[in-house]
Structure 1
Amino acid sequence: MGSGASITDPVYMNSVIGNDEVKNLRMSDQLPNISDEYHYSELLIQDTCLALYGIITQDIKLGKKELLKDSKFIQCRFYETMTYIMSRQEKDLNQVLMEYRLPRLRYVRGSIVIEPLVDVLLARRQPDTVSITALYLKKASNAYNPDVRTVRSDMARLAYMVLDRIIRWGFYLWIGTLDELRKMELTKDYKELSSAEGTVESQIVFRKDTLVIPRIGKPLPASFTKTLLVNRLSGDFCLRLYRIEPEMTTWGNRDDDLDRLIEYYRNHQKMYAGHGTWEVHEQINNIRRQLKKVRDYIDAELYNRARAALMVTRVMYTDLTVVKKMNNRQLDETDFLKSHIDEMKNVIEEGLNRIGSLSSNEDDT
Structure 2
Amino acid sequence: MTAFVTAPSPDELAPLFEPLTIRGLTIPNRVVMSPMTRSFCPDNIPGPDVAAYYRRRIEGGTGLLITEAIGTDHPASVGDTGLGEENLPLFQGQATVDAWAKVVEGVHALGGKIIPQLWHQGPMRMPDGKAPAFSPSGYYGDPATADISYIEQARIISAAPMPVPTDEEIADVVAGFGRAARDAVAAGFDGLALHGAHGYLIDSFLWEETNRRSAPWGGNAVERTRFAVEVVKACREAVGEDRPIIFRFSQWKQQNFRARLAETPAELEAILGPIADAGVDLFDASVRFFNTPAFPDHGDLSLAGWAKKLTSKLSGAVGGIGLIKGKYDTDNAISEASNNLGLVMRRFAAGEFDVISVGRAILQDPHWVRKARTGQPLPPFDPASVSILT
After TM superposition, the score normalised by the length of structure 2 is 0.27
The structure richer in helix per residue is: 1
After TM superposition, the score normalised by the length of structure 1 is 0.29
The structure richer in strand per residue is: 1
Compare relative contact order (CA 8 Å, sep 6+) and give the higher one, 1 or 2.
2
Larger-gyration structure (1/2)? 1
